[in-house]
Structure 1
Amino acid sequence: MTETREEWIKKRAYALWEEEGRPAGRDFAHWEQARAERQALERSAASLDGKEVKTRKRAASTPKANGAAKAAALKKTTSRKSA
């Protein structure tokens, strides 16, 4: 059975609460920490259960990166000509 995002957060928040000795009044902090951990997990290359690491394909260079590379190359070329 696949666990929903909310179920995962709920279980993780509960685990955080237990790890801290079951303090009163920290439920919101534990929920937010669990939510943040889930977001980080979703952005990582790990599988949701943490048992395998997915390989991410390297994205093609972005137009912004290409523009920066071209600008740097142009700067080198123009500095050589003026010297």
Structure 2
Amino acid sequence: MAETREEWIKKRAYALWEEEGYPTGRDSIHWEQARHEREALEGSAAVSNGKETRPKAKRAATATKGATTGAKTNGVVTPAPKRSASRKTAS
């Protein structure tokens, strides 16, 4: 049976705790680090599969950021207009 996301995070947080020498009071830090590592793994798996796994809200937020750097339409990113390199100076 495949390991669930929660089980993976639990095991990784425990491993982090062991690696640090069993400190007390750092359980939430280990849990968050494990959660971030899992999210990074899930993100890299999505890229290798060619699938988008981010929640719709994050995709929408990312798409709106493109308005200043380039427009994103139907998954195609068009480059932002280039600015002129020469500037006129006042004499």
Give the TM interval when normalised to the shorter protein.
Answer: 0.5 to 0.7
Which residue is 1:40 aligned to? 40
Residues 26-37 of structure 1 correspond to what in structure 2 (within 5 A)?
26-37=26-37
Residue identity (%)? 67
More helix by share: 1
How many aligned positions are there?
Answer: 63
CA RMSD of aligned residues (A): 2.9
Displacement, 1:45? Answer: 3.2
**CA distance in structure 2 between the partners assigned to 1:30 and 1:9 by the alignment:** 9
Q: Rg larger in 1 or in 2?
A: 1
- Higher RCO structure, 1 or 2 (CA under 8 Å, sep 6+): 1
Q: TM-score, normalised by structure 2?
A: 0.55
Q: TM-score, normalised by structure 1?
A: 0.60
More strand by share: 2
Q: Deviations over 1:50-73 (max 9, x none)?
A: xxxx4548xxxx53623x26x45x
